[in-house]
Structure 1
């Protein structure tokens, strides 16, 4: 009798206790409701297309008919029977190897100049940052094409000294370098970050080094550069990823073809041609995943090797 009474007494209490999911929903429901637009965008516009792209990379798909599963044929063709793939890879790697270090070096030099306490620093900082905002636009690419044309501003300047310049855009020896110069011109973003890093270096270190007779170059090599390596590492990662993704300048300057002689055929431009020029969407998806893997490998390698040259406060 007592057991039955106890069971009857405990049972309503057990039923009244809310479950874990009920308590979670009651406590966090407002937060999830506010996050709902982000969840819809993340799963509908990010995760969904990524998974779809991975599936399409194993198919033959032309946007007009249903995808046909062909396994790894797109990847096999890419690495064994596609000269344009390797040409675009060479152009992109050349662009990354030269544009990123030159841009970072130029950005660091300007940042050190601005860090000397010159008047009107906010104005100069804004002016130097402006190319980073405009450099990837179509208008700047068109302007760049006109500047480096045979009758452009560069050749007009060389004519003052009696030098007849070539058509920099249509000459395969110089065409890619014009894009590298354009990339270097967009130094504003890393320059701002370098300037912020330079402001964090204690000035008493330079004063102590000056008292010990260290030259400006030795101070830069022994103080500035080691303490700035975390900022260099961050800028190198960001600018390299941006260089791999560069598309608009090459598309506008080359007319979307990558000419002359594929000298400006960036990887992203070739991907665009396959996807929207020839409607080989399956093959373009495979190209996109190879690019993702390449950027991921570079980033992983950079983080693995950073412990040998990046110096933090500890």
Structure 2
């Protein structure tokens, strides 16, 4: 009887130990899973060229080929990007270049710029090729959108740099959005407009007669005293706390992001397919837009030099366009 009780006790202790071990194992597994989820870097890209620049990164992340693990999402509007940055609901995000400065000022320096992602994306377009230079715009009307924003500043800067006074030598008629500009081009055979990518390519798909007449990025570079390649349409920013606590992760991201951008020029057709797959723009539009979107990777001191130049020009035209004051040196991540 005593022997039987001992055996039962041993069995009960063994079962209890097994339950404890299983419980600890499950707890450890859950902790690992939780840690893995917490370790994912929140990367968000604005729809358009900024998101296009990341398509290979998105694909590699899904295939488990990236050094970092990313939680990726595509944001539909600039207003959403601003709200996300204000709430700090991101680790890395793409943003229009001037808004990076605006948000740096609004968040008391919580925003740090890691790289330039695209240069000039605006083009003068029309249904005929009567306009071959900026001087040919004298006496004409340009339809565009973005009054009070960077498109207007870019257009005015190039016109003035060529001795033309906006509103006097060249009439500028602003529409509320790109589709309205495209509608004018479709209905008026002699209409001239300024459109950015990918809106330009979308308009060309619907209106094959539409021609690219002038690259505003090229004309920007020609303005006397202007630093070449300093018209910057988009940048990548990193949340300050994340950048300071995870320098190696930021470094890995920039390497993988640069490879993603290089993929665009090396494999444009495959890049266009990925762009369609992720719902950024349809594949036929992407095939036209990618070569003209001026997507590039510029980091470090060169990034700082070009961004500083661009923001100074914007500030001179309208201080509000950069948030009222120029960012300090801590705005830039220099590796």
Shorter-chain TM-score above 0.5: no
TM-score (norm: length of structure 2): 0.23
When Rg is computed on C-alpha atoms for both structures, the one with the higher figure is 1
In proportion to residue count, which structure has more helix? 1
